[in-house]
Amino acid sequence: MSLKNKKIAIIGGGPGGLTLARLLQMKGYQVKVYERDKDQNVRQQGATLDLHEESGLKALHAASLLSEFKKHYRPDADKLRLTDHNAVVYFDDHMNETPAVESGISFRPEIDRGPFRDLLIASLEGDTLVWNSKFVSLQTKENGWDIYFDNGSIVYADLVIAADGANSKLRKYLTHIAPVYSGLTIVEGTIYNAATNVPELWKLVKGGKVFALGLEKSIILSAKGDGSLSFYTGTKETEDWVKTSGINFENKREIYDWFKERFADWGYEWHELFESDESYFVPRPQYHFPLDQQWESLPNLTILGDAAHRMPPYAGEGVNMAMLDAFELAEQLTANDFSNIKTAISNYEKTMCQRAAKITEVTLQSMENMHSKEALKLLLDTFRHIH
């Protein structure tokens, strides 16, 4: 059985969905990607992405995009400084004079989300992306699905791939396994024109990253190529804290008031993050799926990336797992010994769930270490061992 004469719909235009579209188109398959964003110019929030040799870079190599990627990634953006809660530097990657290499297990290049998305889109056939397509529902039709979008359009697909992120609206058509709250909530922020608006922290981050740890809390900073600074605060909160805190997260003054109280035992240096009007904030309770999750595979629907295995961002594995999902799913769907779609999907899902369980376990341990009483010592020992 072949998918070559079938219509494939990928819901979600993130790195995983776009990588899968590229890999399938290289083999001659009919693919459309439906993305809720209005257009390609929507500003990309969030920290930079670091790709790993055994996953994200592996998928890029299969997609014949590694050379193009190397034109756009930011050398030294992966350089890390580790500080305590008073911004005292205890470890500085910038002091490492070993020349950067562009291959091997230590090559974990950083790239901003916007340029990365752009290069993936540019690799696709011109009419692949269907913008302004916010998913509403699925309805079975023949052997496939009618897909309903909030712009009123209805399209048919023989195979649907859910790549719509951590808050996936498609996952429920495959499984009702619910996510588990990790005990940690992040307040994500972006400060624009950082050299002007947060000059001291911009100097501290030095074009790379800062991990600040102390008193069972964290702040992670990432410099971006557009001159903005993204950050995550990490604190242990109840699952319903975003609702019960009474904070209006669209009101910067209320967020700052919370920070001054919650981080009162941290140095004043970090207050700079909340003093600019050129900023953006959003709270993100951190969830993960059970390590033993599994479900009955379907012949016309599957899932990848955060929609399949969301996890906190404390091991840098989210985008890498999504891209490896895309690689492995494409391999199964285009294999020469392809028997039927359900078997191919089942093989992929079994491997994916087992792999994601291991990575989730590692991520949760990393998160716990970074918010423990001995967090700084634990990370210092880890980095010194690596170096």
Q: Which residues are annotated as a binding site for NADPH?
A: 43
CA–CA separation, 232 and 185 (whole Å): 9
Question: If we measure between CA atoms, which residue out of 327, 385, 377, 387 comes closest to residue 355?
Answer: 327
Query: What pairs with residue 219 in β-bridges?
Result: 212, 233
Beta bridge partners of 302: 161
Tokens 């500085």 found at: 92
Q: Residue 361's Cα: distance from chain center in Å?
A: 17
Residue numbers belonging to the annotated binding site: 43, 50, 113, 306
Alpha-carbon gap, residue 52 to 57, rounded angstroms = 6
Do the beta carbons of residue 175 and residue 292 sit within 8 Å? no
- Coil vs helix vs strand at 30: strand
CB 339 within 8 A of CB 3: no
64: left (phi over 0), alpha (psi -120 to 50) or beta: left
Q: From the annotation, which residues make up the binding site for FAD? A: 50, 113, 306
State how far the Cα of 241 lies from the Cα of 276, in Å rounded to an integer.
25
Q: Give the containing element (helix H, strand E) for 211.
A: strand 209-214
Q: Characterize the bridge pairing of strands 159-162 and 217-223.
A: unpaired
Tell me the DSSP string of 233-291.
Answer: EEEE--TTHHHHT---TT-HHHHHHHHHHHTTTS-GGGGGGGS-SSEEEEEEEEEE--T
